[in-house]
Chains A and B, each alone.
Chain A
Amino acid sequence: MKINIYIPILILLLFSACRENIQLDLNSSNPQIVVEGSVSVDGPARISITKSINFNDDNSFPTVSNATVILSDNIGKPDTLNESQPGIYTSLKTVGMVGRTYSLTIKANDKTITSSGTIPNPVKFDSLKVKAQGGFGGGGFGGGSTQTGTLYTVRVKFNDPENETNYYRFIEYINSKPTGNIYVYDDRLNNGKTNDKTLLNFTRYLLKGDTVTVEMQCIDKAVYEYFNSFGNLGMGPSSSTPANPYTNLNGAVLGFFSAHTVERKQVVIK
């Protein structure tokens, strides 16, 4: 329940004309290894390794090739992943099983990075509703963009089991491209109840024929804390002091490793 978001949003609304680009002198930093790792109950295990760049560089993030990436569970043999694309290491052999703990070891550029995660019990993804909406008008929050299409809202519904602590992550794809917005929830306030969540996205302008796919993941506590500690959830000015999120990786500062269940639903705009 991010109450404090509303206050900066209200300020922005009142003074929406008063924004302008400024020049800032930002320091450069040593490139850091960034790991996005996932083991899920369906699909190949996928570990992506990239590097961070300086703020003013163009947004082309270098990949890290020729790394040794090994996944193992607490039962079978370790599985060395193949670099199927530059910086992306996959394997069809490791398919996630509920309750199993998966360990990740990466050796790249003289660095060793490890992590682990346990796949929690699955919770059924009840429904996905995508509806056109009025409300926030055609301007969006990007500052007067000239988007074509109509603004849509996306709502997801699921029933949270009462007898355990559950954490959820939702990933939104528009025409198979991930939006990158972060949606994570715990069950602190809605334990045991039907959860009806709106995935906020103020730049979701869609045309007829567009496809909205939403992936629901049941994640563990460490992955929830990683995503929850991102200061800016993509919704305008953040009012808390930004910091790197709490990573569950050892030996690296950026990124995460997630072992989760998956269920997808899709809606095509008519």
Chain B
Amino acid sequence: MTKKYLLQLFLLVILFFSVDLSAQKKFSISGMISDTLTGETMIGANISIKEMPGALASTNHYGYYSLTLPKGKYTLTVGYVGYKNSVQKIELSENKMINIKLEPDSKVLTGVEVYAQRKNHNITSTEMGMEKMEIKEIAKIPVLFGEADIMKTLKLTPGIKSVGEGSGGMFVRGGTNSQNLILLDEANVYNADHLLGFFSTFNSDAIKDIEMYKGTSPAEYGGRISSVLDVKMNEGNNQTYHVGGGIGLISSRLNLEGPIVKGKGSFLITARRTYADLFLKLSKDTIINNNQLYFYDLNAKANYTINDKNRIFFSGYLGRDVLKFQKRFGIDWGNITGTLRWNHIWNEKLFSNTALIYSDYDYKVAISAKTSFSLTSVIKDLNFKHDFQYYINSENTLTFGLNSIYHTITPGQLETADTLITPFHLQKKLGLENAVFVSHVWKPNSKLNINIGVRLSSFSLLGPGDFYSYANGVVKDTTHYDVGKVVKTYIEPEPRVNVAYVFDESSSIKAGYDRFTQYLHMVSNSTSSTPTDIWIPSSNIVRPEIGDQISLGYYRNLKNNEYQFSAEAYYKWMQNQLDLKNGAQIQANEHIEGELLFGQGRAYGLELLLKKKYGKLTGWVGYTYSKTERKIDGINDGNWYPARQDITHDISVVGIYEINKKWTVSGTWVFNTGNAVTFPSGKYTIGGKTQFYYTERNGYRMPDYHRLDLGATYTMKKTKKFESSLNFSVYNAYGHKNPYSIDFETDENDPTKINAVMTYLFTFVPSITYNFKF
């Protein structure tokens, strides 16, 4: 009852201040900002009016802006980093559509003229706990096997971690890998890692914009409790055709783009494949050369501007990983997504985006040793989204909409030709996840910037099927539900409040409170994320995960925005966290819910970041102090214990130096204290074999992790018609042995001793990639 009243009160507050009470006659200018050479729309381009310093607008995710001003004559300036400012005089006596094309200017980043364009968006926006990446920066950062990777680059910023070497996954502010909402052109990506984390599913060649919210995303986003990674791809050059790509030691990529109708429509295709297993074939040992390990990705997009007010888009992604062990055992897994979108401009103040999205994540395990069978698991989503952006006036923007996802989870189908194994089909799980949201960006004066919103989300688990209740892990009751009947519904309001108070144009303080709900949960009994982890929906047994985060930050720019400093502190509570009993059977288990253990989590931290944005030398230094713990019934006697991803100190230093027009060098150095791990504190014997005695969960730490990566890019040729470059990189240049795992084994020579044995993966890995574009 109280929840409903609070929600209504909240909505009133949000909407009240969005009424425009001014009596003056006002008109709006609106339109699209794009790149004059490629036709690509620009996200976050800034529009300002010289005569009215408080009148500011920026383009949305589709390049659309709208600004409402009183009747009069104005000087309109549009700017974006890396582009020449566009300045024009306008006379406003009626609503006008003004589309503006910006000209790129690479000199702008290093030259003195840049002063006028240096942005202090980080100071004035309400966005906190948010990392926005520029593609040009990512391309220069050295990484493993020489391929630019946005996930790896994000992990070089505070608050975003990976755990150990060779295990994939992204851990944001103490959350788990399954709590990140990863969107590629609005489609949900379930497994963002290839090859156990060595590569991400994002081919950075065609990425336009990346926004990473560390638990502070506005009400438009929902579904996961720790973070939102919103990746937008390029649309494709709608002026001229281009081919580009790169050939490397382990992987290669190719992209094609061009106009469908010049100026109105374009397409983009990118493809990537690794051939790491070719090296395995070089070995004479049949155990090694008989294995397969590769992945491929394919992205295809097309868009068409029907008229001034309508634009349609199509995007598709296909990615697959294949791992085959000696022809006896194979896993292949991957994502397929398809999105259809429609942008509509209703009037000079109202913009909408409608999307229909299909996504499919599946894995297949096939064993053909003495027995042969295959185990398949699939999760399919059909998603409908509609949102409006209403640019009321220069102080108020309202975003509202709805989102509906129909989930079909097929947890395990066992097929076999072997008569000794029973084939079975685990019951499909069907769920409907809905949300409506409203979000108000309000700037009452030049000092205060408020983003207040609420998302009301719900989840219903649907029949047909049998649903169980458990006592001590054993089935107690079975209830059957027919097609379409609701087994259980959860409704959760998720308030999001973020406020920025700007002291002056170079410093501000921000605070926020955000709540998130998650209805799909990942269950894994592996310490590293594997593609065979299981997703289960909320149910009569499993409650939705809820994350609450409060954050506070101080932001300061120095030397006219050349340096950006931020200090952010957060505290996070996580409810209804899941874990598994020891030895739990999660594969092909109809009663997997009986193996679950439940509890809560908490995390807090301080993130310090100093970035140098302009000049020959750019880069950043980041430091994070953090703690993340869990308290689960049935683990560690119900006491708080450090989560596996708890890493106390984390330092990253990234530097990119443009020596001259031909050479750019870069380096990254990372250091973190080890993550929490469970090691034995004693030993005993069972059946003649030594076993280990554990006193507490995750009471130890892995050894400190550090490494240095170096890279150099040599621009061979750069003309309007053809560009080529060579990229050299060395991963782990001083070869520090960072453990992949630590195991305990009896000493071969002295059976009375047990040794701790470390397996490490990469020391000093050089790589060369040749990149081209024409």
Chain A residues closer than 8 Å to B682, beta-carbon distance: 28-29, 31-32, 52-55
Interface string of A134-178 (1 = CB under 8 A from B): 011100001101000000000000000000000000010000011
A243–B530 CA distance with the chains assembled, in angstroms: 20
Instruction: Say yes or no: A239 contacts B527, CB within 8 Å.
Output: yes
Selected from A59, A171, A228, the residue in CB contact (under 8 A) with B752 is A59
Selected interface stretch from B206-214, B646-654, B695-703: B695-703
Task: Give the most central of A50, A136, A182, A237: most B CB within 10 Å.
Answer: A237
Instruction: Say yes or no: A59 contacts B754, CB within 8 Å.
Output: yes
Chain B residues closer than 8 Å to A100, beta-carbon distance: none
Instruction: Say yes or no: B688 contacts A7, CB within 8 Å.
Output: no
Instruction: Say yes or no: B686 contacts A29, CB within 8 Å.
Output: no
Chain A residues closer than 8 Å to B371, beta-carbon distance: 196
Nearest CB of B to A241, in Å: 5
Interface string of B630-657 (1 = CB under 8 A from A): 0000010000000010000000000000
Chain A residues closer than 8 Å to B583, beta-carbon distance: 225, 228-231, 245-246
Chain B residues closer than 8 Å to A27, beta-carbon distance: 681, 695, 699
Instruction: Say yes or no: A143 contacts B588, CB within 8 Å.
Output: no
Please tell me if B287 contacts chain A, counting CB pairs below 8 Å: yes
Instruction: Say yes or no: B422 contacts A190, CB within 8 Å.
Output: yes
Please tell me if A23 contacts chain B, counting CB pairs below 8 Å: yes
Selected from A10, A53, A255, the residue in CB contact (under 8 A) with B325 is A10
Q: Which residue of A lies closest to B531 (CB)?
A: A7
Instruction: Say yes or no: B752 contacts A34, CB within 8 Å.
Output: no
Selected from B196, B420, B585, the residue in CB contact (under 8 A) with A7 is B196
Please tell me if A198 contacts chain B, counting CB pairs below 8 Å: yes
A57–B753 CA distance with the chains assembled, in angstroms: 8
Please tell me if B528 contacts chain A, counting CB pairs below 8 Å: yes
Selected interface stretch from A13-21, A66-74, A119-127, A261-269: A13-21
Q: Which of B147-168 contact A (CB under 8 A)?
A: 166
Instruction: Say yes or no: B678 contacts A179, CB within 8 Å.
Output: no
- Given contacts A1-B588, A10-B291, A240-B527, whether A50 and B685 have CB atoms under 8 Å apart is yes
A23–B419 CA distance with the chains assembled, in angstroms: 50
- Given contacts A18-B759, A193-B422, A240-B525, whether A59 and B753 have CB atoms under 8 Å apart is yes
Chain B residues closer than 8 Å to A28, beta-carbon distance: 681-682
Instruction: Say yes or no: A243 contacts B678, CB within 8 Å.
Output: yes
A78–B312 CA distance with the chains assembled, in angstroms: 83
A84–B420 CA distance with the chains assembled, in angstroms: 45
Nearest CB of A to B476, in Å: 16
Instruction: Say yes or no: B752 contacts A58, CB within 8 Å.
Output: yes
Interface string of B404-420 (1 = CB under 8 A from A): 00000000001000011
Please tell me if A4 contacts chain B, counting CB pairs below 8 Å: yes
Selected interface stretch from B541-549, B601-609, B742-750: B742-750
Nearest CB of B to A197, in Å: 10
Instruction: Say yes or no: B681 contacts A61, CB within 8 Å.
Output: no
Instruction: Say yes or no: B582 contacts A59, CB within 8 Å.
Output: no
Please tell me if A194 contacts chain B, counting CB pairs below 8 Å: yes
Chain A residues closer than 8 Å to B644, beta-carbon distance: 241
Instruction: Say yes or no: A52 contacts B686, CB within 8 Å.
Output: no
Q: Which of A20-41 contact B (CB under 8 A)?
A: 20-24, 26-29, 31-32, 34, 36
Q: Which residue of A lies closest to B166 (CB)?
A: A11
Instruction: Say yes or no: A20 contacts B684, CB within 8 Å.
Output: no
A83–B756 CA distance with the chains assembled, in angstroms: 36
Selected from B421, B582, B759, B763, the residue in CB contact (under 8 A) with A240 is B582
Chain B residues closer than 8 Å to A26, beta-carbon distance: 679-681, 700
Chain B residues closer than 8 Å to A8, beta-carbon distance: 741
Please tell me if A60 contacts chain B, counting CB pairs below 8 Å: yes
A186–B58 CA distance with the chains assembled, in angstroms: 62
A179–B285 CA distance with the chains assembled, in angstroms: 29
Instruction: Say yes or no: A24 contacts B679, CB within 8 Å.
Output: yes
Instruction: Say yes or no: A61 contacts B685, CB within 8 Å.
Output: yes
Please tell me if A254 contacts chain B, counting CB pairs below 8 Å: yes
Please tell me if A181 contacts chain B, counting CB pairs below 8 Å: yes
Instruction: Say yes or no: A21 contacts B757, CB within 8 Å.
Output: yes
Q: How many A-B residue pairs have CB under 8 A?
A: 219
Please tell me if A234 contacts chain B, counting CB pairs below 8 Å: yes
Instruction: Say yes or no: B370 contacts A242, CB within 8 Å.
Output: no
Nearest CB of A to B39, in Å: 44
- Given contacts A52-B684, A55-B682, A142-B745, whether A32 and B693 have CB atoms under 8 Å apart is yes
Nearest CB of B to A239, in Å: 4
Selected from B370, B532, B745, the residue in CB contact (under 8 A) with A3 is B532
Instruction: Say yes or no: A24 contacts B742, CB within 8 Å.
Output: yes
Instruction: Say yes or no: B287 contacts A242, CB within 8 Å.
Output: no
Please tell me if A191 contacts chain B, counting CB pairs below 8 Å: yes
A12–B331 CA distance with the chains assembled, in angstroms: 17
Chain A residues closer than 8 Å to B752, beta-carbon distance: 58-60
Q: Which of B652-688 contact A (CB under 8 A)?
A: 678-688
Instruction: Say yes or no: B581 contacts A229, CB within 8 Å.
Output: yes
Main secondary structure of the interface of A (DSSP, over half): loop
A230–B680 CA distance with the chains assembled, in angstroms: 13
Nearest CB of A to B61, in Å: 37
Please tell me if A75 contacts chain B, counting CB pairs below 8 Å: no
Instruction: Say yes or no: A23 contacts B760, CB within 8 Å.
Output: no
Instruction: Say yes or no: A179 contacts B688, CB within 8 Å.
Output: yes
Please tell me if B587 contacts chain A, counting CB pairs below 8 Å: yes
Interface string of B159-201 (1 = CB under 8 A from A): 0000000100000000000000000000000000000100000
Nearest CB of A to B367, in Å: 9
Instruction: Say yes or no: A229 contacts B582, CB within 8 Å.
Output: yes
Chain A residues closer than 8 Å to B287, beta-carbon distance: 13, 135-137
Instruction: Say yes or no: A237 contacts B325, CB within 8 Å.
Output: no
Chain B residues closer than 8 Å to A143, beta-carbon distance: 745, 748, 757
Instruction: Say yes or no: A11 contacts B740, CB within 8 Å.
Output: yes
A268–B284 CA distance with the chains assembled, in angstroms: 34
Q: Which residue of A lies closest to B691 (CB)?
A: A230
Nearest CB of A to B757, in Å: 6
Nearest CB of A to B426, in Å: 12
Chain A residues closer than 8 Å to B681, beta-carbon distance: 26-29, 54-55
Selected from B421, B686, B699, the residue in CB contact (under 8 A) with A193 is B421
Please tell me if B758 contacts chain A, counting CB pairs below 8 Å: yes
Instruction: Say yes or no: B678 contacts A241, CB within 8 Å.
Output: yes
A41–B114 CA distance with the chains assembled, in angstroms: 88
- Given contacts A32-B684, A36-B686, A189-B422, whether A14 and B280 have CB atoms under 8 Å apart is yes
Task: Give the most central of B583, B700, B753, B757: most A CB within 10 Å.
Answer: B583
- Given contacts A55-B682, A142-B748, A241-B527, whether A22 and B758 have CB atoms under 8 Å apart is yes
Q: Which residue of B lies closest to A242 (CB)?
A: B678
A244–B678 CA distance with the chains assembled, in angstroms: 11
Please tell me if A195 contacts chain B, counting CB pairs below 8 Å: yes
Please tell me if A180 contacts chain B, counting CB pairs below 8 Å: yes
Q: Which residue of B lies closest to A239 (CB)?
A: B526
A100–B111 CA distance with the chains assembled, in angstroms: 89
A229–B583 CA distance with the chains assembled, in angstroms: 4
Q: Which residue of A lies closest to B763 (CB)?
A: A18
Instruction: Say yes or no: A19 contacts B758, CB within 8 Å.
Output: yes
A237–B756 CA distance with the chains assembled, in angstroms: 12
Chain A residues closer than 8 Å to B700, beta-carbon distance: 24, 26
Q: Which of B443-472 contact A (CB under 8 A)?
A: none
Task: Give the most central of B280, B293, B422: most A CB within 10 Å.
Answer: B422
Selected from A51, A55, A189, A225, the residue in CB contact (under 8 A) with B680 is A55
Chain B residues closer than 8 Å to A99, beta-carbon distance: none
| A contact residues vs B (CB 8 Å cutoff) | 1, 3-4, 6-15, 18-24, 26-29, 31-32, 34, 36, 50-55, 57-61, 135-137, 142-143, 145, 171, 177-182, 188-191, 193-196, 198, 225, 228-232, 234, 236-246, 254-256
When A and B form their complex, which 6 residue pairs have the shortest distance between CB atoms, in order from nearest? A180-B689, A229-B583, A229-B582, A52-B684, A29-B682, A228-B583
What are 8 of the A-B contact pairs (CB < 8 Å)?
Answer: A4-B530, A13-B288, A15-B760, A22-B757, A28-B682, A180-B688, A240-B526, A254-B684
Given contacts A1-B375, A60-B752, 15 further A-B contacts (CB under 8 A): A3-B365, A22-B739, A32-B693, A54-B683, A55-B683, A179-B689, A196-B371, A229-B583, A231-B582, A241-B678, A242-B680, A244-B693, A244-B694, A246-B581, A254-B693
